[in-house]
Amino acid sequence: MSWENEVFGRSVWGVPVYVRIGSGMTETIRGPEEGLGYLLNRWPAEHGKHYGLAKLACVGALVNLGSLKIAREAFKAAAIEVNLLA
């Protein structure tokens, strides 16, 4: 599985992360740009210890100082922590 993918100039994860807030629709997070946007704009008020790490990892991946794989795993851990993983 390749973690270093690019679609239309945007870095994407080899496998998306699926999240859902409450009983809402499942949303697909395809990479660190979408992940960071979700963390900053859609995340519930509840933030666990993985939230900050996920933000840092997504930013790192976006500026090529971090790994896409680590960003995905950090985002997924944050989603699990607050019961958002679909």
Is there a domain that residue 86 lies in? no
SS3 state at 5 = strand
Instruction: Report yes or no on 77 lying in a domain.
Output: yes
* pLDDT number for residue 8: 46
Give me the pLDDT at residue 1, please: 40
* 56 inside domain: yes
What's the pLDDT band for 82 if we cut at 50, 70, 90? very high
> Is the distance from CB of 57 to CB of 70 less than 8 angstroms?
yes
Token pair for residue 65? 């100082």
What is the tens place of the pLDDT at every residue in 16-48? 999 998 888 999 999 999 999 999 999 998 888
Structurally, how many domains does the chain consist of? 1
Domain region containing 76: 5-81
> What pLDDT does 2 receive?
45
Confidence of residue 4 (pLDDT cuts 50, 70, 90): low
Q: Which tokens in the block code for residue 66?
A: 């971090």
Q: Give percent of the chain above pLDDT 90.
A: 67
Q: Give me the mean pLDDT over the 60-85 stretch.
A: 94
In a domain, residue 60? The reply is yes
- Could you tell me if residue 48 is inside a domain? yes
Read off the tokens for 16.
């998306």
Q: Does residue 61 lie within any of the structural domains?
A: yes
